[in-house]
Amino acid sequence: MVKKFIVGVIGAGRIGKLHIENLLGKVPDISLKIVSDVNVDDKLKQWADERGILKLTTDTNEIFTDPEINSIIIASSTDTHTRYIQEAANAKKNIFCEKPIDVDINRIKKTLEVVKNEGVKLMVGFNRRFDRNFMRVHEAVISGQVGNPQIIKITSRDPAPPPIEYIKISGGIFLDMTIHDWDMARYQAGSEVEEVYASGAVLVDPAIGKAGDIDTAVAVLRFKNGAIGIIDNTRQAVYGYDQRVEILGSKGCVLADNEATNTVRIYTAECTNIDKIPYFFLERYMESYATELKYFFNCLQNNQDPTPSGEDGLQNVLVAMAAQKSFKENRPVKISEVDK
């Protein structure tokens, strides 16, 4: 039987492997043809072999030039994204690209231009939009159940900071970590950000400060539709991966709490205990990665433009840039100041 979508995957690191497993097990009518990675070693070969992946390569051109392949998943390092998106677009292949598209606004804009001219579809992997809880929040908002959004409140806290070496090349907390929250805030507000005020501090690890970054951050967003956003981040919430979203609207409030590890309560003579919330982002968002891929291919199937789009990817980076500037200058910064 011939499958409709023949897929190539660029990048077989942690997130690339996750996408591949979802493609194989959870997305129907897909055929995975080629996987490329900068480093094809025995371990990767064995991993691919166990999953029945027929072709591994270090040469991405094999993917771009394969006439059968019509969809490409880009899960390589961020600095390669715009190049691969452009090459894929030039090869007339639809694209699913991990976030962020890039950290340079002009490069992103030029890339989106190429995508537009070639007429292919592009989706950026802001997977949290596909978390069942946050989708349910969105549904409550767009159905009108809570009225017009007035305050968008996002709590997004990592359980532990990444290695300092990673921090140094991360682009800073607002681009590396808050990027998900800019996207979530825009998604739930249903409006673009006009102005951002960002504040923060080094409260977790002085080494993060020495590396030129902060580890605790808050931001206030002003949306074009009048709504206000507030986001708080930390690199280290020792009690687990804390991910909550709340929308106050004119008719009510909708709130998504953390996923629980289990539903068990233990009552003792001292207190009542509940197990910790899941610690790691893959545990929490596992399902969302499969849901986003299914959605992407469903859009291709129905010739719809998937979101988060390339424009979403651009806007999220613009907000991050404005937040960085705001934090540095300790003043609210309009998006128009960084989008020239």
Which residues 234-253 are close enough to bind a copy of itself by CB under 8 A?
234, 236-240, 242, 248, 250-253
User: In angstroms, what is the minimal distance from the CB of 194 to a copy of itself?
Assistant: 12
Among 197, 241, 289, 297, binds a copy of itself (CB under 8 A): 197
Among 163, 264, 302, 340, binds a copy of itself (CB under 8 A): 264
Distance CA 126, CA 308 (A): 7
Which residue's CB is nearer to a copy of itself, number 71 or number 156?
156
Identify the H or E element spanning 35: strand 30-36
Beta bridge pairs of residue 234:
157, 216
Residue 270 lies near a copy of itself (rule: CB under 8 A)? yes
**Please, are residues 251 and 144 in contact by the beta-carbon 8 Å criterion?**
yes
User: For the window 200-219, what string marks contact with a copy of itself as x by the rule CB under 8 A?
Assistant: xx-xx-----------x-x-
Residue 280 lies near a copy of itself (rule: CB under 8 A)? no
Among 265, 302, 303, 340, binds a copy of itself (CB under 8 A): 265
Distance CA 339, CA 96 (A): 25
Among 273, 301, 304, 336, binds a copy of itself (CB under 8 A): 273
Residue 266 lies near a copy of itself (rule: CB under 8 A)? yes
Nearest-Å Rg of the Cα atoms of the chain is 21
* Sequence letter at residue 316: N
User: In angstroms, what is the minimal distance from the CB of 313 to a copy of itself?
Assistant: 26
Residue 299 lies near a copy of itself (rule: CB under 8 A)? no
Q: Could you say which residues in the range 318-337 bind a copy of itself, by CB under 8 A?
A: 330-332
| SS3 assignment, position 248 | strand
Beta bridge pairs of residue 153:
230, 246
Residue 222 lies near a copy of itself (rule: CB under 8 A)? yes
* Sequence letter at residue 201: A
Q: Could you say which residues in the range 1-20 bind a copy of itself, by CB under 8 A?
A: 1
Distance CA 3, CA 181 (A): 36
Q: Could you say which residues in the range 134-173 bind a copy of itself, by CB under 8 A?
A: 136-137, 140, 145-146, 148, 150-151, 153, 155, 157
Q: How far is CA 234 from CA 136, 172, 239, in A?
A: 25, 13, 12
**Please, are residues 199 and 324 in contact by the beta-carbon 8 Å criterion?**
no
* Sequence letter at residue 153: K
**Chain centroid to CA 26: how far?**
20
User: In angstroms, what is the minimal distance from the CB of 114 to a copy of itself?
Assistant: 36
The first and second tokens of residue 197, run together, are 């005020």
User: In angstroms, what is the minimal distance from the CB of 119 to a copy of itself?
Assistant: 32
Give which of 335, 11, 315 is closest to 179, Cα–Cα. Answer: 315
Residue 257 lies near a copy of itself (rule: CB under 8 A)? yes
Among 39, 272, 302, 303, binds a copy of itself (CB under 8 A): 272
User: In angstroms, what is the minimal distance from the CB of 148 to a copy of itself?
Assistant: 8
Which residue's CB is nearer to a copy of itself, number 102 or number 158?
158
Residue 224 lies near a copy of itself (rule: CB under 8 A)? no
Q: Could you say which residues in the range 81-120 bind a copy of itself, by CB under 8 A?
A: none
Residues 6+ apart with CB under 8 A from 327: 174, 198, 199, 200, 214, 217
Angle at 126 between CA 124 and CA 129, to 5 degrees: 125
Residue 309 lies near a copy of itself (rule: CB under 8 A)? no
Among 44, 105, 228, 299, binds a copy of itself (CB under 8 A): 228
Give which of 2, 77, 4 is closest to 38, Cα–Cα. Answer: 77
User: In angstroms, what is the minimal distance from the CB of 278 to a copy of itself?
Assistant: 11
